[in-house]
Every structure is written in C-alpha cells, then in structure tokens.
Amino acid sequence: MSSKKETIQQIIHKDIVNGLIKPGQKLPSIRMQSQRFGCSLNTIISVYQELENQYLIYSRPKSGYFVVAEEALFPLLQTNRIDFATAAPDAATIPHTDFRQCLNKAMELFETSIYTYPDPQGLLSLRQEIVKLFQQQQVFPSAEQVFIFSGAQQALHILAGMPFPNGKINILVEQPTYWGMLAAIDTQRQTVIGIERTAEGLDWEALERHFQSNNIKFFYTIPRFHNPLGTSYTAQDKQRLAELAKANDVYIVEDDYLADLDTNSKADPIYAYNGASHVIYLRSFSKVMLPGLRIAAAAVPSSFIHLLQWHKHAADLSTSVLSQGVLEIYMKSGMYAHHAKQMKSMYDRRINHLKEVSQRYLPEECLFTTQSCGGVFASIQLPDSINIEDLVKRLDNRGVDVFTTDKMFIASFPKLNLLRLSIIRTDEQAIEEGIRIIAEEVENSRYTNNSPKSFFRL
C-alpha cells in the first residue's frame, strides 16, 4: 500500500501530466497543500523536492514552485501509435535517476576541466575505461589508440574527409547502409562507390575487384545488426574481410554500434580477426544510453593517431568534458554494464517476438529469413508492384509508423522497395498488432502475376 506521501506525489504528478497545472504555472503553497491533503508541512516539502528531482517542477527563491515548460518535460510522451520508425531509445527505458547522480558527480569531479579546453582525443581516464569495454569484444587497443568523439556522426564525418595513410581517395559502402554515413560523404564531397549487401552477405568477387582496382581508402561496414537490414556477418565473413583489407591496403571503418546488445558472446568484430592494422573500430553509446550525451569512441591503428588528433581538434577542439565525465562515472560504477544487460534482454525478447509474429502474419508473398539473435532492426523488402509511398500512407492512417530506406542508397545504386522496422519504441503487444496491420495492408495491395518475391530480413 502506498504511503500518504506517495499518494500525494502521484496526485500532483497526474495533475501536471494531464495539464490541470499548466507549464510555468505556480503550484499551491506548501501550507495550502498541507491543508488540502491534511498532512504536515514536511510531507509537502518532501513531495515538492521529489518532483523537483524529477525535473517536473522548479523553485524560485522567495516565490515558490513552478511547473517546468511542457516541451522540456514531455518530448517523448507515449501515444496510441505503433512506432516501428524511431531509432532513438524510449525515455521510459532510460535510468534518469542514475544519470542525474552521475551528472552531479561529474560536475564535482571535473569542475576545473570544464573551464579549459581538454585533450581533443578525450579524457585519458575515460579512454582507459573504454579500453576495458573494448577488451570484452576482443578489441585490444592501447589508451593512446582510443579517441572520444562528439557522437558517432562526428567520427564518420571526420573520417570521410580526412586523408588516409594508404593515400587512396574513394569510399566503398554497403548498399543499403546507414544514411548518416552517406550524408557525411556527401557533405565532404567525397567519391562513393556502392556494393550490394543482402541477407546472404556480400558479393566477394565484386569486393575484391573494388579493393584491387578502385583506389578505395576505406570500406564502411556494419557487420553486426546491419542498419537497415538487421543481418550480421558470419565469423568467416569477418575474417575474410580483415584479410582482404590488409592484403590490399584498404582500411575498414567498422561501425559496431550495437555490440552491447549481442546475445552471442562468441561473436567478435572484424577488428579481432588480425585486422588491427587496417580496421578503425567505432562504438556508439546512443542505443544504450542517452543519445543527447553525444559520445562515441573509436580504436584506430597507431599510424592514425597524430593525423586524427589534428582533424579532431580542427572539428570541435574537444568533446564535452561533462558528457565524458558522466560516461566515465557511469561505467566505473557498474551502472553501464547493468543497464546494457537489461537493454539486451529487453530488445532480445522484442526482436524474437517480431520473428515469431512475422511467421504467423506475413502473407506468402513475403518470404523471410532469420539470423543472429539480438539487435533492434529488421526490414521488409516488398515486390516492385507495391507502391511503397502509398503503403506507408495507409499504414500511417492505421496508426503504424515505418521507415522507408530511400536515403540509405547512393544516387547511382538501384533502390529496393524496402521498409526498415525498429523495435526500440515498441513492446510485444504493439509488435504483434503492428505486424498484423502491415500484413493486412500488404495483402490488400495489388500484385502482378510476375512480381518478384519479397524478403523479410533480420
């Protein structure tokens, strides 16, 4: 049974959420609330302090307590829609109290660093923690080889534009691939070449031709839980990639953004397969932690250190000390490992449920395959006879949001009739209802007799 304090707190919280107390509005005084609820002044003081800790209200000296602006309070309010489109974590899964504790501690421990420009490569103490994390994935750099970036997007942008030790100039990317990489290449005005990636992997003959003949400075790949396909390379694929890159003096930029979510403890990155001299290993923390921290880390070959230091410094002088400090404390305290374990379990349940309901609901025209466990994305490749824009509109009208993948292809590469599904903002019930609706709308679409088969890829 809830205590009187908890009951009062729930009532006031509900009043704020439901808009009975408007953003910016002053709350009743402590004395008035005490009389309203028939409790002590200390009880109301404690309730207001707790609501303030939740950033629902704030105090003005000698004026009282006020509701925080609505846009700051509720950027991620739950709706009745089924969201297969969003790739950012659900606010409900984020341990806000833990982050506030780490933030307060970071303000205390790194106070002097906040007023200076620190090492553009990142705080040494955080890089040492990152080394420990990387070692769990069989990646063994020194702290001198680790760089902290203001998000993975900054790392991709810098790498796309900077010269590489091999002296080559063209960039090879999988098709489809993460749109942020294509945006970075485009803004840096670099030449990009595409190579098809399917559920079965790469065309190895084509890859070797590109490596040998097309002046490739680096190959950007997402070997684990590909975005948008959701597929993963086999151990043999990763070893072969590492060997080909080294033999042809081509670097690999390995985007291992979901390493924390892999339920297969034996799944190693490309970097682990004797590829340390030609692999840049990149890790994001946005899918497990707060994307707003804007922190990513990379392990680079020793030949990159001085060159990358200069380009990182030119990009932003240094990554936010406060964000670095929060991550370091979060990792050292064991909170990161605990939270990552919880997220891995939750997403694994969801992605497995997605596989199961897809087998039950998707029509015969949708052939699907499943691969490794874990991850957050899946994709549906539709027959060319289906108008994907029309399908998306009809799904939108039924309350289902999906993500089209046009911007995940380069202009010169044939685009697929492909939808990406994310399970980040869903639960098992929403997944089942969403796939049922998608299946109905695909079934309602008109197919030609000779339309190609489609694939549901994980």
What string of DSSP letters covers 176-231?
A: S--HHHHHHHHHTT--EEEEEEETTEE-HHHHHHHHHHS-EEEEEE--SS-TTT--
Amino acid symbol at 1: M
Tell me, what CATH number does 48's domain have?
1.10.10.10
Domain end among 335, 361, 380:
335
pLDDT surpasses 90 at 144: yes
CB contact at 8 A, 130 and 149 = no
Q: Which residue has the higher pLDDT, 188 or 23?
A: 188
The answer to whether residues 172 and 262 belong to one domain is yes
Q: Quick: pLDDT tens for 166-185.
A: 999 999 999 999 999 999 99
The answer to whether residues 343 and 330 belong to one domain is no
For residue 86, being part of any structural domain is answered with no
The overall average pLDDT reported for the chain is 88
Tell me, what CATH number does 299's domain have?
3.40.640.10
The answer to whether residues 321 and 356 belong to one domain is no
What does DSSP say about strands 170-175 and 216-221: parallel, antiparallel, or unpaired?
parallel
Q: How far is CA 203 from the centre of its chain?
A: 27
Q: Which residue has the higher pLDDT, 55 or 384?
A: 384
Residue with tokens 């408007």: 22
The answer to whether residues 296 and 232 belong to one domain is yes
The answer to whether residues 248 and 329 belong to one domain is yes
Task: Choose the weakest-confidence range: 212-221, 247-256, 273-282.
Answer: 273-282
For residue 89, being part of any structural domain is answered with no
Task: Choose the weakest-confidence range: 50-64, 224-238, 283-297.
Answer: 50-64
pLDDT at residue 74, rounded to an integer: 44
Omega before 61 cis (within 30°)? no
For residue 175, being part of any structural domain is answered with yes
The answer to whether residues 189 and 317 belong to one domain is yes
pLDDT surpasses 70 at 120: yes
pLDDT surpasses 80 at 68: no
The answer to whether residues 62 and 120 belong to one domain is no
The answer to whether residues 170 and 283 belong to one domain is yes
Q: Vertex 201, ends 197 and 207: CA angle to 5°?
A: 70
pLDDT surpasses 70 at 447: no
The answer to whether residues 118 and 266 belong to one domain is yes
pLDDT surpasses 90 at 125: yes
Burial 379-394 (b: 16+ CB within 10 A, else e): bbbbbebbebeebbeb
Domain that residue 393 falls in: 338-457
Amino acid symbol at 179: W
Which phi and psi (to 5°) does residue 175 adopt? -125, 120
The answer to whether residues 262 and 377 belong to one domain is no
Query: How far is residue 81's CA from residue 365's CA, in Å, rounded to a whole number?
Result: 26
pLDDT surpasses 50 at 73: no
Number of domains in the chain: 3
pLDDT at residue 75, rounded to an integer: 44
The answer to whether residues 313 and 348 belong to one domain is no
Query: How far is residue 97's CA from residue 187's CA, in Å, rounded to a whole number?
Result: 38
pLDDT at residue 199, rounded to an integer: 86
pLDDT at residue 366, rounded to an integer: 65
For residue 91, being part of any structural domain is answered with no
* Residues 6+ positions from 376 with CB-CB distance below 8 Å: 87, 225, 258, 261, 287, 347, 351, 422, 423, 424
Residue with tokens 């840049």: 280
For residue 117, being part of any structural domain is answered with yes
pLDDT surpasses 80 at 417: yes
For residue 303, being part of any structural domain is answered with yes
pLDDT surpasses 60 at 109: yes
For residue 17, being part of any structural domain is answered with yes
pLDDT at residue 358, rounded to an integer: 87
Give the DSSP letter of residue 162.
S
CB contact at 8 A, 131 and 142 = yes
Q: How far is CA 7 from the centre of its chain?
A: 36
Query: How far is residue 389's CA from residue 392's CA, in Å, rounded to a whole number?
Result: 5
Q: Quick: pLDDT tens for 5-34.
A: 889 988 998 888 777 888 778 999 999 999
The answer to whether residues 256 and 344 belong to one domain is no
Query: Which residues is 456 bridged to in the sheet?
Result: 368, 380
For residue 313, being part of any structural domain is answered with yes
pLDDT at residue 458, rounded to an integer: 45
pLDDT at residue 44, rounded to an integer: 92
104 pLDDT band, cuts 50/70/90, is confident
371 pLDDT band, cuts 50/70/90, is low
Tell me, what CATH number does 446's domain have?
3.90.1150.10
Q: C-alpha distances in angstroms, 66 versus 7, 18, 70, 444?
A: 20, 16, 12, 52
Residue with tokens 């629902």: 56
Query: How far is residue 374's CA from residue 258's CA, in Å, rounded to a whole number?
Result: 9
**For range 412-427, the mean pLDDT:** 92
Residue 340: which H helix or E strand, with range? Answer: helix 335-361
Closest CA to 286 of 277, 275, 295: 295
Ranges assigned E (strand) in 21-62: 57-60
Measured torsion, CA atoms of residues 36, 39, 41, 43, in degrees rounded to the nearest 10: -110
The angle that helices 321-332 and 335-361 make with each other, rounded to 10 degrees, is 90
CB contact at 8 A, 454 and 380 = yes
Residue with tokens 């205390």: 108
